[in-house]
Amino acid sequence: MRVWKRVEELSAGDIAQENITISSSGQPVVKVGQKIDHEIIDALRALGIKWLLVESKDTFESKIPKPETVEEMKADVKKLFDKVLLENKIDVDIVERSVQKLTEEIFENYGEYITPVMAIMKDLSEYTYTHEVNVSIITTLLAIEMGYSEDKVHEICTGALMHDVGKLKIPPEILDARRKLTDIEFSEIKKHVLYGREICENSGIKSVKILSAVEDHHEKIDGSGYLKGLKGQELSETAKMMAVADVYDALTSERPYKHAWSGYRAISYMLSLANVHFDIRVINALIRVFGLYPVGTKVLLSSGDEGTVVGMRKGYFSRLMVKLTNGEIVDLSEEKSILIQKVLSDEAR
Ligand SMILES: [Fe+2]
């Protein structure tokens, strides 16, 4: 995108969108279309130039939602859950405020370049809060990609933010067990979807989409999910989106019984289960949101350079934006001769 940048904020790889010449000699320091490098930055500084108009591949402007919004949501969910523990009821005002801010921000900033931002779990005890927030972000992005209106996205996101609220009724020694669960314990865990529905109903929530997000997010299209074992078209579209968002975040998160998978590994695995566990249209939407090599994937390019995926231009889900080890950002949607040759690690995002 074209942006005015302070000279000290220029990155190697930005493309100048204006000519700067030394007035005494008429000598160009930088020309339209020229790639910015450290020599140019030094020359501009020496001349006392403060600002330059550039085409920038930096992705900070395309981060959705803003990292501070994500942190606020985490705090809101913690507050929300503390109240549910005390009152067995959801404070719908907190949910409404949080969902409104998130969906508005995502709709406003859903542009040509996207870098989805997820909540970071600082330790394992934060999982339930971070997971609720991340599933809401992912579901919102999926719903936008699948063409839902802002009102419907808002409703689906509300369900997502509360989808695991029923887990508050499951004893932590079962929920966080680092051992194989007994059949009785596992059937108790499965009931969190029912407990969640009860809590929602107890809070006066009647929306079919919200209730379906809470009750049906573990259903799979081959009928092997729980609690009802719904199959194919019996699953609501909300439940199908929830299933994908829930599993993607669970796989890419650190859990007591497994390390966090990379986004690349999670996408590849989930793609193999399209039409088995997941609806293929939702998996396609997931790929349009995260790309085949999600942000954080370390890659080797055919140019011989190594780098990390930092963002994606809409529609270019296999030709992403890669930050090289020297700090330069290569946009593979433009550099058509360069390919991603290899994924270098399965480390988490
Ligand atoms: Fe769940």
User: What is the C-alpha separation between 157 and 151, in angstroms, rounded?
Assistant: 10
Residue 349 pLDDT > 50:
no
Q: Tell me, in angstroms, the distance from the centre of ligand 1 to residue 97's CA.
A: 23
Q: Tell me, in angstroms, the distance from the centre of ligand 1 to residue 26's CA.
A: 66
Q: Determine the residue type at 109.
A: N
Q: What is the pLDDT of residues 142-181, one digit of tens each?
A: 999 999 999 999 999 999 999 999 999 999 899 888 888 8
Residue 25 pLDDT > 50:
yes
Give the residue from 299, 346, 341, 342 showing the smallest Cα distance to 324.
Answer: 299
Q: Tell me, in angstroms, the distance from the centre of ligand 1 to residue 283's CA.
A: 19
Q: Tell me, in angstroms, the distance from the centre of ligand 1 to residue 132's CA.
A: 10
Q: Determine the residue type at 286.
A: L
Edge-first strand listing for the sheet containing 2-6? 2-6, 51-55, 15-16
Q: Tell me, in angstroms, the distance from the centre of ligand 1 to residue 115's CA.
A: 26
Other CB atoms within 10 Å distance of the CB of residue 5: 16
Q: What is the pLDDT of residues 171-203, one digit of tens each?
A: 989 988 888 889 999 999 999 999 999 999 999
Q: Tell me, in angstroms, the distance from the centre of ligand 1 to residue 320's CA.
A: 31
Q: Tell me, in angstroms, the distance from the centre of ligand 1 to residue 108's CA.
A: 29
Which pTM was predicted? 0.83
Q: Tell me, in angstroms, the distance from the centre of ligand 1 to residue 133's CA.
A: 13
Structure tokens at 332: 């593979």
Residue 56 pLDDT > 70:
yes
User: What is the C-alpha separation between 239 and 142, in angstroms, rounded?
Assistant: 12
Q: Where are the alpha helices (DSSP H) in the chain?
A: 38-46, 67-87, 92-109, 127-145, 150-161, 172-175, 183-190, 192-202, 208-215, 237-251, 263-272, 280-290
Helix (H, G, I), strand (E, B) or coil at 232: helix
Q: Tell me, in angstroms, the distance from the centre of ligand 1 to residue 163's CA.
A: 7
Sign of the CA dihedral with 250 first, then 256, 258, and 263 last = positive
User: What is the C-alpha separation between 70 and 119, in angstroms, rounded?
Assistant: 6
Q: Tell me, in angstroms, the distance from the centre of ligand 1 to residue 38's CA.
A: 50
Q: Tell me, in angstroms, the distance from the centre of ligand 1 to residue 134's CA.
A: 13
